């Protein structure tokens, strides 16, 4: 009743019902709000995701039925489908490396590849940013230009690709920030208006915070905007 989004563990429960994403449950427990955030504190990470409290001593868990699936469930399903397709077309190392470089999905990388990147000092390449999206969009634009597609249809194709790419990256705030700015530029060009980078940046950050208010605590958004 207090409106908390909480983090809890149900590992010790042996339940007949399977808790799928979106399931409605009731439970008892002790809520501990996140308050003090030190550097590199895990609580700060969860708070930036909109999770404001831990639940301890979980008990009396009951399954109430199916609920509404969050948007993240559908975006993650699309991501996993793409990764499965990539994996089926190449060997494991190549597929995981492509997924990491193209979408920022590093969980699929082997420990050896991660170690190699650290030893070479190029781990930052695997961190998604607006630069990734800009480079990929520019490359796509060059390809479409070589195919002699006019600028307006080319921008529309790129805009559709950007939306799909944002979903593919799990709606990373840095990619979403860059994507919204490019979409605004595209809309202004199609409407015959003059672009303004500062205004576009302000609108993109505003839209992100409108739908994900706790992203204001996400360092990735601050670095991307700066």
Per-residue pLDDT reduced to its tens digit, 145-186: 888 888 888 888 988 988 888 888 777 788 888 889 888 888
Q: Where are the alpha helices (DSSP H) in the chain?
A: 42-48, 71-89, 92-103, 111-120, 130-146, 151-168, 173-190, 197-211, 219-225
204 vs 210: CA distance, rounded Å: 10
Per-residue pLDDT reduced to its tens digit, 183-218: 888 888 888 887 788 888 898 999 988 888 878 877
27 vs 129: CA distance, rounded Å: 39
- For residue 11, the model assigns a pLDDT of 64
Closest CA to 37 of 197, 217, 209, 190: 217
pLDDT of 22 above 80:
no
């Amino acid at each position: 009743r207090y409106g908390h989004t909480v983090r809890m563990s149900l590992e010790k429960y042996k339940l007949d019902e399977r808790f799928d994403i979106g399931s409605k449950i009731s439970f008892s427990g002790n809520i501990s709000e996140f308050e003090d955030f030190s550097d590199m504190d895990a609580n700060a990470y969860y708070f930036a995701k909109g999770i404001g409290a831990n639940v301890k001593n979980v008990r009396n868990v009951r399954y109430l039925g199916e609920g509404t699936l969050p948007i993240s469930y559908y975006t993650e399903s699309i991501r996993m489908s793409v990764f499965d397709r990539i994996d089926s077309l190449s060997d494991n190392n190549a597929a995981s490396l492509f997924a990491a470089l193209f979408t920022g999905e590093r969980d699929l990388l082997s420990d050896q590849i991660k170690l190699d990147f650290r030893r070479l000092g190029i781990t930052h390449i695997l961190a998604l940013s607006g630069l990734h999206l800009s480079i990929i969009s520019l490359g796509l634009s060059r390809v479409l230009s070589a195919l002699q597609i006019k600028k307006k249809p080319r921008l529309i194709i790129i805009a559709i690709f950007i939306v799909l790419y944002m979903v593919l990256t799990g709606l990373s705030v840095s990619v979403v920030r860059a994507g919204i700015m490019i979409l605004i530029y595209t809309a202004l060009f199609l409407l015959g208006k003059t672009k303004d980078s500062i205004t576009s940046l302000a609108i993109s950050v505003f839209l992100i915070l409108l739908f994900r208010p706790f992203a204001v605590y996400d360092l990735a958004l601050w670095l991307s905007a700066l």
